[in-house]
């Protein structure tokens, strides 16, 4: 049986006796008291643990880890794109046109040299790179760069509605898939827009970014990669994200998603074994989409169908992409494998150990902080945290219903006390000391 008296005796003995204890500084005494407290807690905890039943011990020791499902989808896309990028060299087929930046383009144009070889090694091409450049050109965060209104007005005139190009310059989930899909659907319009921009210039020339975009839109291997990205977006990405994000008020428990992830991997394998699920003339969403629901963008699917005869290596690109995606899904979905703790949990345990399927509640809060600080740049982090908790916890209703004038007076004095502690200044000071 643990005894506070015995622990205190041991504390004094370790210090060298009562007289030695009295010679210790206050900080040293606090440290010894803390260690004594920790020993006592462990002792009491071990005693309480041994009294538990086997079932209660298993319940208490159950530890579950899950990752953000949106990041799983993003990693699947990366894995697929990486594998597809190697398709060309493995099969000794000329790959996508490299889209050089200014410096590397100059190094390549200068002829054989070390700089030439380095420029060739570091420069990239393909659908992902073109989608990134398109985001810089059609949706640049700086409204003085890129085409901006020229782009929006052109598409509104051609289509009858405004088009907003996906934000591929930031980490927005699915943005590169959606960017490639957007370019493919309206390919003739994007080519015509680039020519119109060129013709409206005094010298009638493209700038470097515009030239890369124009050339990329005419490059057949790049178009094949864009078609593969589009099919993956329609087949896996859209359907998966619909489930894990849920509706506005629905909260999705990751622990319930074992069947979903099995279904995703099985469908990836099905496409690898039979690409005609997506490429055949009679392909449809019933067998093509992993959830069997209508295409999120039917116009994208039929655009790829129409282009299939002009894309000779699309089948190989598609198989490689889905192979890379499947390998990545397996790597980042280990918590759902057979034999893992999740598979042995009861429905009651899953409800009790609820884990959110996405990290929206964290990343959304960080984004809101950044947005709020633009409006109130001098607001402290403590103040923002308090305001956010006030809204999220519906504190106003509680205060209106419960608090008396005496309570409110106490809250005001407590706020003044907290302000006097200068908590944010202390935090910044600690950060500065850590950075040194």
Of 281, 306, 336, the residue at which a domain comes to its end is 336
Question: Do 106 and 229 have their domain in common?
Answer: yes
Q: What is the pLDDT of residue 137?
A: 93
Residue 8 has pLDDT above 90, yes or no: no
Residue 53 has pLDDT above 70, yes or no: yes
Question: Do 126 and 52 have their domain in common?
Answer: no
The 3-state secondary structure of the chain reads CCCHHHHHHHHHHHHCCHHHHHHCCHHHHHHHHHHHHHHHHHHHHHHHHHHCCHHHHHHHHCCCCCCCHHHHHHHHHHHHHHHHHCHHHHCCCCCCCECCCHHHHHHHHCCCCHHHHHHHHHCCECHHHHHHHHHHHHCCCCCCCCCCHHHHHHHHHHHCCCCCCCCCCCCCCCHHHHHHHHHHHCHHHHHHHHHHHHHCCCCCCCCHHHHHHHHHHCCHHHHHHHHHHHHHHHHHHHHHHHHHHCCCCCCCEHHHCHHHHHHHHHHHHHHHHCCHHHHCCCCCHHHHCCCCCCCCCHHHHHHHHHHHHHCCCHHHHHHHHHHHHHHHHHHCCHHHCCCCHHHHCCHHHHHHCCCECCCHHHHHHHHHHHHHHHHCCCCCHHHHHHHHHHHHCCHHHHHHHHCCHHHHHHHHHHHHHHHHCCHHHHHHHHHHHHHC
Confidence of residue 344 (pLDDT cuts 50, 70, 90): confident
Average pLDDT, the chain: 89
Structure-token pair, residue 264: 């995703």
Of 336, 362, 380, the residue at which a domain comes to its end is 336
Q: Does residue 428 fall inside a structural domain?
A: yes
Tell me the mean pLDDT in the region 214-221.
Answer: 96
Residue 394 has pLDDT above 70, yes or no: yes
Question: Do 76 and 56 have their domain in common?
Answer: no
Q: What is the pLDDT of residue 116?
A: 82
Q: Does residue 376 fall inside a structural domain?
A: no
Residue 352 has pLDDT above 70, yes or no: yes
User: Which residue, among 11, 259, 214, has the nearest Cα to 99 in the 3D structure?
Assistant: 214
Q: Does residue 375 fall inside a structural domain?
A: no
Q: What is the pLDDT of residue 64?
A: 86
Residue 172 has pLDDT above 80, yes or no: no
Question: Do 77 and 129 have their domain in common?
Answer: yes
Angle at 314 between CA 101 and CA 129, to 5 degrees: 20
Tell me the mean pLDDT in the region 305-325.
Answer: 96
Q: Does residue 206 fall inside a structural domain?
A: yes
**pLDDT, tens digit, for every residue of 397-422?**
888 888 899 998 998 998 888 888 88
Q: Which residue range forms the structural domain that includes residue 169?
A: 69-336
Of 311, 336, 361, the residue at which a domain comes to its end is 336
Residue 365 has pLDDT above 80, yes or no: no
Question: Do 103 and 143 have their domain in common?
Answer: yes
229 or 426, higher pLDDT = 229
Q: What is the pLDDT of residue 343?
A: 87
Name the most confidently modeled range: 7-11, 29-33, 248-252, 370-374: 29-33
Q: Answer whether 36's CB lies under 8 Å from 28's CB.
A: no
Question: Do 17 and 92 have their domain in common?
Answer: no
Question: Do 42 and 73 have their domain in common?
Answer: no
Name the most confidently modeled range: 212-216, 289-293, 418-422: 212-216
Structure-token pair, residue 68: 């953000």
Task: Please report how many Cα atoms fall inside a 13 Å half-sphere around the Cα of residue 96, on the Cβ side.
Answer: 28
Residue 2 has pLDDT above 60, yes or no: no
Q: What is the pLDDT of residue 197?
A: 93
Question: Do 255 and 149 have their domain in common?
Answer: yes
Confidence of residue 73 (pLDDT cuts 50, 70, 90): very high
Tell me the mean pLDDT in the region 1-30.
Answer: 80
Question: Do 178 and 195 have their domain in common?
Answer: yes
Q: What is the pLDDT of residue 264?
A: 96
Q: Does residue 388 fall inside a structural domain?
A: no
Only one residue has tokens 């759902």, namely 336
Structure-token pair, residue 195: 């020519």
Residue 366 has pLDDT above 80, yes or no: no
How many domains is the chain partitioned into structurally?
A: 3
**pLDDT, tens digit, for every residue of 79-107?**
999 999 999 999 999 999 999 988 888 88
Residue 1 has pLDDT above 60, yes or no: no
Tell me the mean pLDDT in the region 10-24.
Answer: 84
365 or 271, higher pLDDT = 271
Q: What is the pLDDT of residue 160?
A: 92
Q: What is the pLDDT of residue 85?
A: 94
Confidence of residue 371 (pLDDT cuts 50, 70, 90): confident
Q: Does residue 366 fall inside a structural domain?
A: no
Q: What is the pLDDT of residue 315?
A: 97
Q: What is the pLDDT of residue 248?
A: 59
Question: Do 43 and 112 have their domain in common?
Answer: no
Confidence of residue 171 (pLDDT cuts 50, 70, 90): low
Question: Do 18 and 79 have their domain in common?
Answer: no
């Amino acid at each position: 049986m643990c005894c506070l008296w015995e622990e205190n005796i041991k504390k004094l003995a370790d210090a060298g006796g009562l007289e030695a204890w009295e010679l210790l500084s206050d900080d040293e005494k606090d440290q010894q008291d803390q260690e004594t407290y920790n020993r006592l807690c462990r002792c009491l905890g071990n005693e309480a643990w041994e009294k538990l039943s086997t079932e209660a011990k298993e319940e208490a020791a159950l530890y579950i880890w899950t990752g953000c499902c949106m990041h799983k989808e993003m990693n699947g896309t990366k894995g697929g794109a990486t594998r597809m990028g190697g398709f060309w060299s493995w099969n000794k087929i000329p790959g996508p046109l490299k889209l050089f930046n200014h410096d590397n383009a100059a190094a390549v144009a200068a002829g054989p040299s070390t700089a030439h070889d380095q420029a060739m090694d570091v420069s990239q091409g393909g659908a992902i790179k073109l989608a990134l450049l398109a985001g810089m050109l059609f949706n640049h965060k700086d409204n003085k760069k890129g085409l901006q209104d020229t782009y929006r007005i052109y598409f509104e005139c051609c289509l009858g509605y405004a088009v907003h190009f996906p934000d591929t310059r930031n980490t927005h989930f699915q943005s590169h898939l959606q960017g490639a899909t957007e370019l493919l659907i309206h390919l003739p319009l994007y080519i015509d827009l680039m020519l119109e921009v060129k013709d409206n210039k005094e010298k009638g020339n493209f700038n470097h970014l515009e030239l890369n975009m124009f050339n990329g839109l005419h490059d057949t291997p790049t178009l094949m990669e864009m078609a593969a990205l589009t099919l993956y977006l329609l087949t896996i990405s859209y359907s998966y994200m619909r489930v894990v994000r849920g509706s506005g008020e629905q909260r999705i428990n990751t622990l319930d998603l074992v069947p979903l992830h099995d279904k995703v991997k099985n469908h990836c394998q099905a496409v690898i074994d039979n690409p005609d699920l997506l490429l055949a003339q009679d392909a449809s969403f019933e067998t093509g989409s992993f959830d069997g629901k209508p295409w999120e963008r039917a116009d994208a699917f039929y655009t790829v169908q129409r282009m299939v005869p002009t894309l000779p290596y699309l089948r190989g690109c598609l198989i490689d992409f889905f192979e890379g995606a499947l390998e990545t899904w397996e790597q980042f979905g280990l918590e759902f494998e057979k034999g893992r703790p999740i598979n042995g949990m009861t429905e009651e345990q899953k409800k009790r150990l609820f884990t959110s399927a996405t990290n929206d509640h964290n990343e959304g809060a960080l984004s809101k902080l950044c947005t709020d600080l633009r409006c109130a740049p001098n607001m402290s982090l403590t103040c923002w945290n308090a305001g956010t908790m006030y809204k999220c916890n519906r504190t106003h209703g509680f205060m209106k219903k419960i608090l008396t004038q005496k309570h409110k007076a106490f809250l005001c004095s407590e706020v003044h006390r907290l302000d006097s502690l200068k908590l944010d200044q202390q935090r910044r000071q600690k950060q500065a000391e850590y950075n040194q």
